[in-house]
Amino acid sequence: MIAISMGDPAGIGAEIILKSAAVLARRRRAPSLVVIGDLKVMLETARRLQRVPTPRPWTPAAPPVPLERGLSVLAASELQRLARRPGHPTVAAGRRRFNT
């Protein structure tokens, strides 16, 4: 299993992770991935992109979702909609990035 921080919720991390996960999902014996970040950001980004794994909530008590069925996300923040605009970093996003 590989855990990845999505980084700044208003950055490009979610898109890069989802596109990379889509490539890995096509490989045999792909590692399981867990994204640590904002589930809503991951879901909104996945809706904009095509053919990427669907982000799914995950907890450490459960096995990761196989990439061909989705992408495990450990929710580490939940920003308000205005703070989740890609390409528009905010002070709020910086402060709440990893607050649970």
Out of 39-43, 59-63, 65-69, 84-88, pick the least confident. 84-88
Task: Please write the tens of the pLDDT for every residue from 4-63.
Answer: 998 888 788 999 999 999 999 998 888 889 999 999 999 999 999 989 999 999 999 999
- So what's the pLDDT on residue 76? 85
For residue 27, which amino acid is it?
R
- So what's the pLDDT on residue 14? 92
- So what's the pLDDT on residue 48? 92
Stronger pLDDT, 67 or 87, i.e. the higher one: 67
* Residues 20, 84: Cα–Cα separation, whole Å: 21
The HSE-up count of residue 50 (CA atoms within 13 Å, CB side) is 0
- So what's the pLDDT on residue 29? 85
- So what's the pLDDT on residue 8? 80
Residue 45 in contact with residue 14, Cβ under 8 Å?
A: yes
Phi and psi torsions of 42, nearest 5°: -65, -40
Average pLDDT, stretch 72-80? 82
